[in-house]
Homo-oligomer: A and B are copies of this chain.
Amino acid sequence: MSTAAKPPRAAKVRHAATLADVGREAGVSAMAASAVLNGARTSSRIAEETRSRIVAAAEKLRYRPNATARALADRRMNTIGVATTLSGSELNQYFLEVFNGVLEAAAAAGQNTTVFALSDWQEGAQRIHSICDGRIDGLILLAPWLKPEAAAELPEHTPLVAIHANSELAGVLNLESDEEAGAFAMVSHLLSLGHRRILHLAGPAESVGAQRRIAGYRRAYAEAGLKPPAQHVKHGDFSAESGRRSLEEWLQSQQGKALPDVIFAASDAIALGGLETLTARGWRVPADISLVGFDDTLLARSAHLATVRQPLRELGNRAVEQLMARIDAKHRDAAYRLPNTIILPTQIVPGATLSVPRQQPLIIT
């Protein structure tokens, strides 16, 4: 046997050279190496000569700092999480746009972003707890649907921010856009164009977002001194498939009556689904019937759909900004569970699917 110090254990997997390796190579301690290579505010400055020896050694050994070790010592991963339900097959444009905003702002703040795809919000607080285990410094909840009981169980040690939460979450900032005002503005605009029979293809009855769009729809009629036609709000979910089916069902139930002047869909996806149904039945948009959506996703823009713009990307930006503020506060040992609500404005987007109503209404067959 030689005198070579045998390693305490056959390292399972070597990640790369460590600070200790570098120190050994340069003939200094690991902390000297740390100070030079990663040292943020290690007040003690290292002599120029030592420093260059260390740098050379690091270079030679291809030293790479290990993020998990640093995270353990710092209690900080420099990573934020985004939790959402990416339901099955229908690709979610809403998610994509918000996510882009998150990515953008996170990158600007020097943070990484990890995505947690929940199968269902009902697994809720439990799952969220298991996410907040040190691997992320803060979490964005994207359109969470949590029961009040679940909300009370949310982790306390990780800053949380929600976007379009379906109910208030104790101690969690909620970011939203002014959906009621957006719906109000759009429907008022439709009324001012002369439309009267406005069919609203709404979202789920339990969704506050859907409720707010309906409220805006009703208020627009009210403030115009008009009454919305009976049976002109049809619930479904926010998907294209739902838009297709739900319009079809509605039309079947209204045979022989007048075709609406315009369809106001609660999402772009619904609108595009509805468009399929209209086209399949041979109606032309907007000559025979106008169509407007809600969200202003890329899909809408590419279809030239008139819609209500929600500032999706900006919601993502703002969520990150607020989350970072809370993370920093926590690390400064300040209060970081600052509940609050931020509401961004919505806005009407013109498009090729909207024009004035026909003179003579068509009849539903």
Which A residues form the contact surface with B (CB < 8 A)?
12-16, 64-69, 71-72, 75, 77, 79, 86, 91, 93, 96-97, 100, 103-104, 107, 112-117, 129-130, 132-135, 155, 157, 240, 272, 298-299, 302-303, 330-331, 333
Q: B117 near A75 (CB under 8 angstroms)?
A: no
Inter-chain contact A79/B299, CB cutoff 8 Å: no
Pick from A12, A130, A302 the residue with the most CB of B within 10 Å.
A302
- How many copies of the chain does the oligomer comprise? 2
Known contacts A15-B134, A157-B14; A112 and B116 CB within 8 A of each other: yes
Q: How far is the CB of A20 from chain B (nearest CB, A)?
A: 14
What residues of chain B lie closer than 8 Å to A331, measured between beta carbons?
12-13
Which residues of chain B come closer than 8 Å to A16, judged between CB atoms? Answer: 157
In contact, A100 and B86 (Cβ under 8 angstroms): yes
Listed A/B pairs (9) with beta-carbon separation below 8 Å:
A12-B75, A12-B331, A13-B157, A16-B157, A68-B77, A71-B135, A91-B100, A115-B115, A299-B299
List of 10 A-B pairs having minimum Cβ-Cβ separation, nearest first: A114-B114, A67-B135, A68-B71, A67-B133, A66-B134, A68-B134, A68-B72, A67-B134, A91-B298, A103-B117
Identify the interface centre among A12, A15, A68, A117: most chain B CB within 10 Å of its CB.
A68
